A = this chain, B = another copy of it.
Amino acid sequence: MDDVIRPWEKVGSKEVGNFRIFNVRSDIRIHPRSGRQHDLYVIESVDWVNACAVTPDGKLVMVEQFRHGSETVEMEVPGGMMDREDTDPVETAVRELREETGYGGGEARLLGYMHGNSAIMNNRCHTVLVTGATLQHARQLDAGEDIRVHLVALEEVPRLVASGRVRHSIALAALHHFDLWRRGFITTGAA
């Protein structure tokens, strides 16, 4: 039997919910082996970015904030949504880093991307590395933000993650990219 995994043909799609920061869509698709129809809900969102910013003295810039999904205070890396007019995830990450933490400068480049959630979301989340980041600006928090900045020594990051202090799936995944870069598995144009 053919064991190559094939895409499922889409034979119908309609919007079924609009919730400002995301929409919900209902798709009808055909199972490639059984030929049967399945209907599936998909959450549509703009892309997101995360910034893994390192200072010249070897600290990772992290942020702590209350999160409304989990209803808990979480330790994460800075990040945010790409606005409709944003076309470059690196620029967006540098902007979010500056607004949330005041850090900037140095050199910024892409480490990789992930899907917001391949099963139920249609967006991507880009992991951006910023090296040589220093405190350069006043922070510009949105009215809906309340964020505390933490500097974490690079050698402490694996222990911090292992302790369970980082629980946002997207931050945990972005820090996987970052860890693989630190260990030489991911290389970028300028290292």
A190 at the interface (CB under 8 A from B): no
CB atoms of A115 and B167 under 8 A apart: yes
User: Main secondary structure on chain A at its contact with chain B?
Assistant: mixed
Residue of B nearest to A33 (CB): B146
Cross-chain contact A41 with B70 (CB below 8 angstroms): no
Q: Is B32 touching A19 in the complex (CB atoms < 8 A)?
A: no
Max chain B Cβ within 10 angstroms of own Cβ: one of A24, A29, A144, A148: A144
Task: Give the residue of B22, B65, B147 whose beta carbon is less than 8 angstroms from that of A41.
Answer: B22
* Bound Cα distance from A176 to B157, whole angstroms: 12
14 A-B residue contacts at CB 8 Å?
A5-B73, A7-B72, A17-B17, A19-B26, A43-B43, A68-B120, A76-B118, A114-B169, A117-B117, A118-B167, A118-B168, A158-B180, A158-B183, A169-B170
